[in-house]
Structures are given as structure tokens and as C-alpha cells.
């Protein structure tokens, strides 16, 4: 499962039994030691080991020899010492020689400086000639075994045993920096196959020449130049000191007040000038006893080989970590680990393709299958239909949006996540994606968004908003905001409906007034009847007392009947309102029950079930009210209630009045006339009473109309306030997205274009009633202009109601008002960089800012798929900002990127490079099994072209493919390797 450069444990500094100095190993035999040694390497999962000794590689050769026969090692009973799994792991451990040298001058502690030479195992055969027989000490003794032995003998002629002479020589052998520098300058092969790592210990390291690195700023005299020379020849530092790590990466001031990108660049420049290059800090266990084996290690992100090792000097910050746990480890459920293409017609390779957790780049010639591979990953994993639009193109023949690539019914594409879950491109539409939240940026998508006509588009604004809402808390806040808007919209529509219902009610009431009659004439009639009645009573001979009593009874009877009539009207009002309210409350109770059942926590459910019981209580109350107004078949109220009691009381009083009037028996003709006058008078007074009630009701409804009008516009304004509020509540999330080169500002705005398009469409084009209003001529507005906008809408509202604003015939006034007050507000997210707003930028710069929004600032942990971003960006953006963003964000998210730009591949230090190839692109290639094929590996995978290879992909290393396919590939490698190294 080749996934390119991966994090592995490396131990750079391990001594073995028989080491030339300070051998404290207690194993009885070398066989016993190596059993302990390799078991420990397996148990600790150490993938690379620097076998260390002073001035010698003999221990390294012994280790390699033992490892070569490890599958044959048995105990005294003949049982194999190592399991199959252990053997497989151990045989893949990268063993390399680490020769530890002692170098003049001595430190202020009186100790020599330790410098380590890490060698390419492939160079071991040349070391005797190029290194050991070439380096001499201060007395011109060569550093090979013969030279060291002879040197020991010269120091003490009394020593006769050769191994004792050798030990004496080792104890006293010291080289000087000049001889090592000369070798590096004169022997290119030596330099290419060696890494020099200097100890930075205050006891025996370069910093010990003057206490520690934090005194670098105060260096003076010869020691400054000497230490600078030591650091200049070194490729790395043996140190776990956090201050050393930050200093040699140019980050000593990181985290201090005022630290910024300029500070960082300045510090990098100073480190390179003073120390020759940025340098990785690494560690090893430096074991001299069995118990110390593999207690310390370094995480290195590289193939376990010497080319992989060399990468740490080019990417010291990205490739090395001294943490206990694997660095930047991502959740396996968010990692695409493997894809497999099912193509029965052999169009595509049938082998699995593997992806790294970090940055994967897909390169290849034109039409080699790069974009096809990325596209099918996106199509397999996308779930949202809106996202599918990125996968489709418009077909002019069918005039429909269709998938960009189709390969027939037998084609299938399988994506497997690191968690082990798989998904097919043939999955059912209703099946959810196994990896939601991925970002897919097709070719030219950025430039299309960045084009001037798109810069203020809803699509771009939605992109920014979606980015903001990737934060769960912000998303929940925004969802609640949308809920409030929907409630406001529903309430506003209800208020508008009620407003026009009130208008209809007023119209009907006024019509009833006209039908009832003239108020003044009715009053005159009543007055005339009173005069006639008085004459009739005089004619009947009523005494003064009888006359008063008669009038009193008649007036009481009239008032009781009027009261009875009003109660009957109240009863009908109660009946109608209670019926409407019962329907509404039953709907609310249904919603309440559904809501309560959706609550997961039982304790919370119980609590709020109790609190919402008041709704059920209201329903019970309405049932009780319905009982108050139930009538029998004869029209009588059945149940006791305040209404029944009042009606019964009034009817009893009327009956009593009727009985009390019996003594006043008049002559038949006079009584008949009085009854006729009384009937006419009662009818007129009833009409006057109705007129009074209607006038009063009209006043109430006109007041209600004014109240509803104010409510409607208060609610309309509150929608704008909701946008202002939610933007304020998202401020923390917005601030978390910003950096010194990118700012996001939320502004509530009004969509004039949409409003004009809709409202002018329902306006009468002949009259053009809208011409007098500013809001039909504006394209944008600020917060301060919203109130002016609302005032104009109030005026239009009133003109619509009075039919002064001319509408199309098919548009009702109520619908026109709803369209007038439709929520055309929106939350606009203004993006700027260095005070330059997005819509004013060049297309290339805007494209990068959009890409930065998608990649650099997204909080999602899902992978990012990008197809040739360089097509949309200028060269400066690619070589600086984009590369830095990729290097930063690949630590947080998996990135799979198609590119033909060498700087992205090499300088972004892609962990996994996938080479795409289509058969027929190379004139000299042999016939191959598949039309589209792929191979992948790390940048450090390197070997020259094999001339007679029959498979173009396997004919050279990944590095050579990059140089061959991508124009400027070799230059990109040279640029990277020189970037931080000037010696």
C-alpha cells in the first residue's frame, strides 16, 4: 500500500554492542543483543535506524549482516526467534550508518564537539576510500582502522595488543573542521551521499562553544566565526530543546507580541545568513545499554530510504517532528485511502490507487486521465443535488445539464475511506454519502466565480456564507435565524390578510349603514311618534301618575328588548370566534405533540411537556365555552352560563313588564293606535341602535386597521433587524476566519433588482405608478437608507389600498402588498484583502482569495478536491501564497489536486504524487493492457529511466516523471533544494 511520504518513527542515533566508546551493553553474545535490538525496534515500530559508532561503520555492517539472515534465526530448540510479521517489518527497516566524530575545538566544558555523518547505505563501499582514508587528525593520522591503530600505538608504545592500540587511538582521535569542509568541497559524491548533523548540547555540541544559542546575538571574536562555520557545514541539529527547534526553523520570535509574516521572513533570512540554512532538529536514543534502546525517536515524513532522509533538509518544518504521537493525525473517517475503477472494457487500470492523508497531486500529459480520476471521486461522494451542478455541463444537443463524463453501464468507481467504509458511484440516490462535506473545485470554477459579472453573485455570497456556517454553533444560530424569518414571514402574511379582511369588514359595515336608513330621519320619526303618543295618552284620560308609570314600563320594556338583542349578537360573536380559535389551538397542539416527541432526552421532554400543558388547558377552556352556547332544537340555551343567566333574567323582566301593563286597559281603538306607534318607534329605535353599533364597530375596525398597519411595518423592519442581529452573532466565527491579508464583513442589504423585477411585473405598465419612487432606481443601499425605503413602501402600501397605485388587472391589492413587503433583505458577506474588496480585484487575485476562502479558512475536516487551480491564478499567487496555504492546510485536511505546475508539486512538498498516463501519448511505448493507467509515490522516489522497460509508468522514478511530464520540473527541484541552503 504505497501512499507516498508517510510519518514514521526514525531513530537517528543508536549504538550497538561492541561500540568503540562507552560500551555498557550486557548481552552475552551479539546474537543475544541483536535479538533484543530488533525485537525492540518492532515493538516500538521504528522504521529507520542510524547504527552509530565512533569513527567506524563496523557495527553497522554487523547489524546489516544479522538482519539479512533474520528469517533463519532460531533458538536452542530450533524454534524461529521472529514471527513472520516481525520478519516482514524488520526487513523493511531502513538501516543506515551514523559515524560519530569528535572535532576540535573543545568546548568551554573541556569537551570536544560531536558531529555525526549519516551516510547513504549505497555509498558504504566508497567510504573507505572517500572518507576514512581521506580524513586525517591533527597529527596527520588517517581515520581508517590502520591509521587509528597506528596513532594509538604512537601515543603509548607500551601497548602491544592491536585492539588496545585501536582503543587508545579512538579515545584520542580528533579531527578539525577544515578537513571535513575540504572533503565536502572537493568530493561531490561524498557530499551527495552524506548528511552532517551537529550536536547542539551545551556539553559537547556547537552551542557549547558559548553557552547556548540564545547568546548568538552577542557573539564576538573568533568563536563566532568558528561556530558559524560548524553550522554552515551541518545539515541538521541533534537537539530536542524547544528553543533550538524554533530558532533553527526561523521561528524564535513566534508567539511574541507584534509577530507577523514580515518578522518571520526577516528571522528566516537572519538564520540562513548566520547558520547557512534552516535546519531540522532531530533526536535518537543514543543508547549505550539495552534498557535505553529506542526510548527516544524522531517522526519523519518520508520514504524509509536515503532520499527520504535528505528531504528533511529541504523541508525541516514539514518533514520532522519530535512529538510523542504521530503529527497531524487525521480522523480516519475523513480520509480517502483507496479508489478502485471497475472497467470491463479495460479502459481503466484494475489495480487499486492509494492516497496519502495529506497533499496528493495528480500529474500527467494532456488527456491522461487526471481530471477524470478527481471527477469520479467527487461524483461518488457527493450527496447534495446542488453540489452535483459542479459535476455537470450544459449539453447543447439535449439542452440539459448532464454529467461531464460517462463510461457506460459496466463502469463503476469505488471509494474506500481509511476507516474501512466504501461507496460506489452506482449507489442509490437515497443513500447518504459516506463522506459529506468534501469540497470539489472543478477546472475554471474559480475564474468563473471571479469574473466581474459573477463577483456580486448569489453563488459567491453563498460560498462565503456556507464557509461561515461550517462551524456547528454558527450553523445552529443561522438556522434559528431562518426559523425566526419564516415565523415573521408567516405572521406578516397573516397580518396583511387580516388587514384586508378588516377593510372588507368596514366596507360591509358601511354598506349596512346605507341599507338601514338615514340616522337623522329616524331620530325625527321617533320624536314625532313621541308627540303622537302623548296626545293619545291625554285622550285616554291618564292621570299624571299613571302616565309616568306607563312610560316607565314601556321604556323598561324597550331597553330590555334592546339588551336581549345585543346579548344575542354577543353570543354569535363568541360562537364564531371560539370556532376559529378552536381550529387554531388544535393545530398548535398537533405541532406541540410532534415537537415534544422529537426531543431525545427524556428528562428534558418531561419538563417541557409539563410547561406546554397550558395549550391543552386552553383547548379544554374552549370546549367549556362551546358548552355555554349550545342550543336546543327550539333555540334555547341548554347549559348554565353567564349568557343563559342574563337571557333568562331579561326574559323574566320582559314578562313582568307585560303583566304590569295589563291594568292599563285602554279603549280598543286607542290601544291599537298606541301599539302601532310603539311598534314603529321600536323599529326605528332598533335601527338607530344598529347604526350606533355599526358606527362604533367601524371606528374600532378603523383603529384596528391603523394598528395592523403599524404591526405590518414593524414586523417588516424587524426582518432587517434579524439580519443585523445574526451577522453580529456570527462575528466571532467571522473573526476566526480572518487573517492579516483577508477580512470578511457581514452587511444586511436589500435586493433591489429582485424587488424591481417582481414588483414592476405586477404594476400597470401604462400608468407606471412606480416612477416617483427612489427605491425603483437604486441598486444598493446602506443601513441608514433602510428607513427611507420603508417610508416609500408605506406610501405605496396606502396607494394600493386606495386604488391610487395602478396594478395589473390580474393582481389583487392584497397580493400586491405581500409582494411589496416580501423579504428581499439578504446577508451580504463582503470579502476584502488589504483594503481591496473582492469585486474590485483582478480576476487572478480574486480567484486566489476565493480559493483561500475554500481551502485556507474552511473548518471542515473533509478532503478538498481541486482541479488545476493554477489556470485561474497568476504566477506570483502560485509560487508564494498558494503553496504556503497548501503546506499549511494539508496538515489539517486531506487535499487531492490535479496540476501541471511543478512549483505546486515540488515546493508544496506533496506527500503523494500520482502519475496519470493514457496509452498512445508516447510514440515509443509498448502496447499496454489499459488505456488509462496510474502509478504513485513520494517525491523521494527516484531512479533514472530504464531504457528497455515495457511499461512507461514503471520505467523511471516519480521524481523523473515529474521532470519529464511537468515543464520546469527539474528547475522546481533545484529551486526547492537551494531555497534554504546557500553553501
Phi-psi region of 168 (alpha: psi -120 to 50; beta: other; left: phi over 0): alpha
CATH number of the domain at 284, please.
Answer: 3.20.20
Beta bridge partners of 933: 917
Q: Are both 251 and 290 inside the same structural domain?
A: yes
Burial group, residue 743, by CB count within 10 angstroms (0-12, 13-18, 19+): middle
Quick check: helix, strand or coil at residue 746? strand
Do 633 and 610 share a structural domain? yes
User: How many other C-beta atoms are found inside a 10 Å radius of the C-beta of residue 929?
Assistant: 10
* Contact call for residues 341 and 318 (beta carbons, < 8 A): no
Q: Which of 199, 201, 179 is nearest to 135 (CA)?
A: 179
Query: What distance separates the 2 farthest-apart alpha carbons in the chain?
Result: 172
Neighbours of 29 (CB within 10 A): 9
| Other Cβ atoms within 10 Å of 714 Cβ, number | 13
**pLDDT for the residue 454:** 56
Strand partners, 400: 395
Q: How far apart are CA 430 and CA 681, in angstroms?
A: 77
Report pLDDT for 956.
Answer: 92
| Cell output for 548 | 309616568
Which residues touch 243 (CB under 8 Å, ≥6 apart)? 213, 214, 252
Is the overall model pTM greater than 0.85, yes or no?
A: no
Question: Position of cell 428534558?
Answer: 604
Residue 719 in grid coordinates: 426582518
Which grid coordinates are listed for 43? Answer: 515493538
Judge if 252 and 385 occupy the same domain. no
Domain final residue, candidates 668, 699, 730 = 699
DSSP letters for 323-373: -SSPTTPPPGGG-EEEEEEE-TTSSB--S-EE--SSEEEEEESTTSSHHHH
Let me know how long the chain is.
Answer: 983
Residues 906 and 933 placed together within one structural domain of the fold = yes
Q: Are residues 294 and 304 in the same domain?
A: yes
Averages of pLDDT over each 10 residues, the chain, 983 residues: 94 96 94 96 97 96 96 93 96 97 66 89 96 91 94 93 94 89 93 92 49 38 67 92 93 88 88 92 95 95 96 93 94 96 90 96 92 94 69 76 83 95 88 87 85 65 86 91 93 94 91 83 78 69 73 82 87 88 89 88 91 91 89 85 91 87 60 70 77 87 93 93 93 75 86 88 90 76 76 94 92 94 91 82 82 76 91 70 85 93 88 90 64 93 86 89 78 68 43
Domain that residue 161 falls in: 136-174
What is the C-alpha radius of gyration for the chain, rounded to an integer number of angstroms? 46
pLDDT of residue 300: 97
**Cell numbers representing residue 219 in the block:** 557573539
Rounded to 10°, the helix 544-598/613-628 angle is: 150
| Residue 867 in grid coordinates | 482541479
The CB-side HSE value for 91 (13 A sphere, CA atoms) comes to 12
A 10 A CB-CB count for 539 gives 13
Q: Check whether residue 246 and residue 344 sit in a common domain.
A: no
pLDDT of residue 774: 82
Nearest to 285 by CA among 266, 303, 271, 298: 298
Residue 582: inside a domain, yes or no? yes
Contacts of 750 (CB under 8 A, 6+ apart): 781, 786, 789, 824, 825, 826
CA distance 310 to 854: 33
Contact call for residues 900 and 363 (beta carbons, < 8 A): yes
- Residue 179 and residue 166 in one domain: no
Phi, psi angle pair for 607, to nearest 5°:
-60, -50
Tell which residue, 407, 385, 403, has the closest CA to residue 394. Answer: 403
Beta strands in 425-522 (DSSP E): 439-441
The beta-strand segments (E) located in 723-789 are 743-750
User: What's the structural domain count of the chain?
Assistant: 4
- Reading the block at residue 317, the C-alpha cell is 518544518
What is the C-alpha separation between 364 and 355, in angstroms, rounded? Answer: 17
Residue 433 is given by DSSP the state P
Omega before residue 752 within 30° of 0, cis = no
Q: Given the C-alpha cell 414588483, which residue does it identify?
A: 759
Q: What percentage of the chain's residues is helix, strand, coil (to nearest 5)?
A: 55, 15, 30
- Indicate if 341 and 254 belong to the same structural domain: no
CA pair distance 631, 638, nearest whole angstrom: 6
List C-alpha distances in Å: 560 to 418, 539, 674: 88, 28, 19
Cα distance between residue 182 and residue 191, in whole Å = 11
* Structural domain includes residue 915: yes
Distance CA 445, CA 459 (A): 11
Listed in sequence order, the residues at least 6 apart from 498 whose beta carbon sits closer than 8 Å to its beta carbon are 708
Grid cell in block for residue 277: 540554512
Q: What are the grid coordinates assigned to 462, written together?
A: 453563498
Q: How far is CA 628 from CA 518, 571, 574, 634, 803, in A?
A: 37, 9, 10, 16, 44
Whether residues 168 and 180 fall in one domain:
no
Q: From CA 766, how far away is CA 95, in angstroms rounded?
A: 90
284 shares a domain with 153: no
Residue 840 lies in a domain: no
Buried b / exposed e along 639-661 (16+ C-beta atoms within 10 A): eebebbeebeebeebbeebeeee
CATH, residue 867: 3.40.50.300
Residue 810 lies in a domain: no
Angle at 281 between CA 298 and CA 299, to 5 degrees: 20
The answer to whether residues 424 and 380 touch, using CB atoms and an 8 Å cutoff, is yes
Collapsing DSSP to helix, strand or coil, 448 comes out as helix
619 occurs within a structural domain: yes
Whether residue 341 contacts residue 349, with contact meaning beta carbons closer than 8 Å, is answered with yes
State residue 836's pLDDT score: 84
The residues that bridge with 342 in the sheet, in sequence order, are 412
H helix intervals, 320-455: 370-381, 385-388, 445-450
The domain boundary, picked from 667, 699, 731, lies at: 699
Cell, residue 400: 440539459
- Which residue bears the cell 508564494? 880
Grid cell digits, residue 908:
508544496
Phi/psi region, residue 286 (left: phi>0; alpha: psi -120 to 50; beta: rest), is left
Quick one: which of 92, 47, 856, 1 has its CA closest to 355?
1
The verdict on 162 and 211 lying in the same domain is: no
* Three-point CA angle 552, 553, 557, nearest 5°: 115
Same-domain status, 76 and 220: yes
- Determine contact, residues 900/870, Cβ cutoff 8 Å: yes
**Does 127 map to a domain?**
no
Dihedral pair phi/psi, residue 101, rounded to 5°: -115, 150
In a domain, 454, yes or no: no
Does 806 fall in a domain?
Answer: no
Q: How far apart are CA 932 and CA 351, in angstroms?
A: 11
Contact (CB, 8 A) for 416 and 339? yes
Whole-angstrom distance, CA of residue 40 vs CA of residue 47: 12
**What does the alpha-carbon distance between residue 58 and residue 163 come to, in Å, rounded to a whole number?**
14
Amino acid at each position: 500500500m504505497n501512499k507516498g511520504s508517510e510519518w514514521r518513527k526514525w531513530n537517528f542515533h543508536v549504538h550497538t554492542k561492541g561500540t568503540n566508546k562507552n560500551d555498557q551493553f550486557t548481552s552475552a553474545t551479539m546474537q543475544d543483543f541483536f535479538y533484543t535490538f530488533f525485537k525492540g525496534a518492532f515493538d516500538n515500530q521504528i522504521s529507520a535506524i542510524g547504527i552509530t559508532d565512533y569513527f567506524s561503520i563496523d557495527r553497522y555492517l554487523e547489524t546489516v549482516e544479522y538482519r539479512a539472515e533474520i528469517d533463519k534465526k532460531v533458538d536452542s530448540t530450533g524454534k524461529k526467534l521472529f514471527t513472520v510479521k516481525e520478519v516482514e517489518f524488520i526487513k523493511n527497516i531502513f538501516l543506515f550508518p551514523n559515524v560519530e566524530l569528535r572535532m576540535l575545538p573543545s568546548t568551554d566544558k573541556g569537551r570536544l564537539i560531536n558531529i555525526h555523518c549519516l551516510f547513504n547505505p549505497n555509498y558504504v563501499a566508497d567510504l573507505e576510500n572517500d572518507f576514512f582514508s581521506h580524513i586525517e587528525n591533527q597529527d596527520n593520522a588517517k581515520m581508517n582502522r590502520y591509521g587509528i591503530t597506528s596513532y594509538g600505538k604512537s601515543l603509548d608504545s607500551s601497548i602491544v595488543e592491536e585492539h588496545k592500540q585501536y582503543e587508545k587511538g579512538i579515545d584520542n582521535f580528533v579531527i578539525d573542521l577544515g578537513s571535513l569542509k575540504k572533503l565536502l568541497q572537493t568530493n561531490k559524491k561524498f557530499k551527495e551521499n552524506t548528511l552532517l548533523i551537529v550536536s547542539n548540547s551545551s556539553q559537547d555540541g556547537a552551542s557549547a562553544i558559548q553557552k547556548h544559542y540564545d547568546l548568538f546575538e552577542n557573539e564576538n571574536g573568533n568563536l563566532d566565526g568558528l561556530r558559524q562555520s560548524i553550522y554552515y557545514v551541518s545539515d541538521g541539529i541533534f537537539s530536542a530543546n524547544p528553543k533550538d527547534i524554533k530558532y533553527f526553523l526561523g521561528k524564535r520570535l513566534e508567539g511574541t507580541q507584534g509577530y507577523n509574516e514580515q518578522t518571520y521572513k526577516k528571522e528566516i533570512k537572519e538564520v540562513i545568513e548566520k547558520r547557512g540554512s534552516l535546519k531540522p532538529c532531530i533526536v535518537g536514543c543514543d543508547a549505550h545499554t539495552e534498557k535505553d534502546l529506542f526510548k527516544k525517536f524522531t517522526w519523519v515524513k518520508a520514504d524509509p530510504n536515503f532520499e527520504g532522509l535528505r528531504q528533511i533538509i529541504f523541508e525541516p518544518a514539514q518533514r520532522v517532528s519530535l512529538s510523542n504521537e504521530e503529527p497531524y493525525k487525521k480522523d480516519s473517517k475523513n480520509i480517502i485511502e483507496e479508489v478502485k475503477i471497475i472497467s470491463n472494457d479495460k479502459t481503466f487500470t484494475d489495480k487499486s490507487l492509494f492516497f496519502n492523508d495529506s497533499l496528493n497531486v495528480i500529474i500527467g500529459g494532456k488527456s491522461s486521465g487526471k481530471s477524470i480520476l478527481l471527477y469520479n471521486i467527487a461524483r461518488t461522494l457527493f450527496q447534495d443535488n446542488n453540489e452535483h451542478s459542479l459535476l455537470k455541463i450544459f449539453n447543447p444537443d439535449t439542452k440539459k445539464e448532464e454529467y461531464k463524463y460517462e463510461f457506460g453501464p459496466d463502469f463503476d468507481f469505488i471509494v474506500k475511506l481509511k476507516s474501512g467504509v466504501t461507496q460506489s458511484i452506482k449507489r442509490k440516490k437515497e443513500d447518504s454519502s459516506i463522506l459529506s462535506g468534501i469540497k470539489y473545485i472543478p477546472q475554471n470554477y474559480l475564474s468563473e466565480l471571479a469574473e466581474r459579472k459573477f463577483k456580486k453573485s448569489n453563488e459567491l455570497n453563498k460560498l462565503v456564507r456556507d464557509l461561515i456556517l461550517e462551524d456547528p454553533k454558527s450553523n445552529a444560530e443561522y438556522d434559528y435565524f431562518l426559523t425566526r424569518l419564516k415565523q415573521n414571514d408567516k405572521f406578516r402574511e397573516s397580518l396583511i390578510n387580516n388587514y384586508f379582511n378588516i377593510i372588507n369588514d368596514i366596507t360591509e359595515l358601511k354598506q349596512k349603514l346605507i341599507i338601514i336608513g338615514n340616522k337623522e330621519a329616524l331620530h325625527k320619526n321617533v320624536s314625532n311618534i313621541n308627540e303622537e303618543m302623548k296626545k293619545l295618552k291625554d285622550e285616554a284620560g291618564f292621570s299624571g301618575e299613571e302616565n309616568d308609570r306607563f312610560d316607565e314600563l314601556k321604556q323598561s320594556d324597550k331597553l330590555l328588548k334592546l339588551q336581549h338583542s345585543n346579548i344575542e349578537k354577543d353570543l354569535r360573536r363568541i360562537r364564531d370566534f371560539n370556532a376559529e380559535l378552536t381550529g387554531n389551538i388544535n393545530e398548535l397542539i398537533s405541532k406541540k405533540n410532534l415537537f415534544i416527541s422529537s426531543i431525545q432526552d427524556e428528562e428534558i421532554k418531561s419538563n417541557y411537556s409539563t410547561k406546554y400543558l397550558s395549550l391543552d388547558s386552553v383547548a379544554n377552556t374552549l370546549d367549556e365555552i362551546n358548552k355555554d352556547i349550545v342550543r336546543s332544537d327550539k333555540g334555547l340555551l341548554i347549559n348554565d352560563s353567564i349568557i343563559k343567566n342574563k337571557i333568562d333574567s331579561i326574559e323574566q323582566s320582559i314578562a313582568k313588564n307585560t303583566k304590569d301593563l295589563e291594568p292599563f286597559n285602554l279603549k280598543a281603538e286607542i290601544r291599537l293606535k298606541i301599539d302601532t306607534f310603539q311598534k314603529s318607534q321600536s323599529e326605528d329605535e332598533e335601527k338607530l341602535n344598529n347604526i350606533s353599533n355599526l358606527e362604533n364597530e367601524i371606528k374600532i375596525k378603523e383603529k384596528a386597521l391603523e394598528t395592523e398597519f403599524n404591526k405590518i411595518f414593524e414586523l417588516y423592519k424587524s426582518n432587517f433587524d434579524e439580519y443585523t442581529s445574526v451577522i453580529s452573532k456570527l462575528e466571532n466565527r467571522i473573526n476566526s476566519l480572518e487573517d492579516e491579508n483577508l477580512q470578511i464583513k457581514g452587511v444586511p442589504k436589500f435586493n433591489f433588482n429582485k424587488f424591481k423585477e417582481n414588483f414592476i411585473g405586477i404594476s400597470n405598465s401604462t400608468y407606471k405608478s412606480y416612477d416617483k419612487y427612489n427605491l425603483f432606481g437604486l441598486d444598493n443601499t446602506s443601513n441608514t437608507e433602510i428607513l427611507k425605503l420603508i417610508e416609500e413602501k408605506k406610501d405605496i402600501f396606502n396607494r394600493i389600498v386606495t386604488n391610487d397605485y395602478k396594478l395589473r388587472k390580474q393582481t389583487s391589492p392584497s397580493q400586491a402588498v405581500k409582494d411589496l413587503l416580501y423579504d428581499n433583505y439578504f446577508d451580504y458577506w463582503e470579502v476584502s484583502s488589504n483594503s481591496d474588496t473582492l469585486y474590485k480585484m483582478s480576476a487572478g487575485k480574486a480567484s486566489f482569495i476565493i480559493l483561500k476562502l475554500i481551502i485556507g479558512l474552511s473548518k471542515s475536516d473533509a478532503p478538498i478536491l481541486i482541479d488545476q487551480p493554477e489556470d485561474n491564478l497568476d504566477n506570483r499567487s502560485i509560487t508564494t501564497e498558494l503553496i504556503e496555504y497548501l503546506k499549511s492546510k494539508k496538515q489539517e485536511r486531506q487535499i487531492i489536486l490535479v496540476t501541471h505546475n511543478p512549483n505546486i508539486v515540488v515546493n508544496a512538498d506533496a506527500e503523494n504524487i500520482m502519475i496519470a498516463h493514457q496509452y498512445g501519448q508516447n510514440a515509443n511505448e509498448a502496447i499496454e493492457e489499459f488505456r488509462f493507467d496510474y502509478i504513485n509515490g513520494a517525491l523521494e522516489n527516484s531512479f533514472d529511466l530504464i531504457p528497455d522497460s515495457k511499461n512507461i509508468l514503471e520505467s523511471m522514478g516519480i521524481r523523473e516523471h515529474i521532470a519529464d511530464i511537468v515543464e520546469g520540473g527539474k528547475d522546481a527541484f533545484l529551486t526547492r533544494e537551494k531555497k534554504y541552503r546557500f553553501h
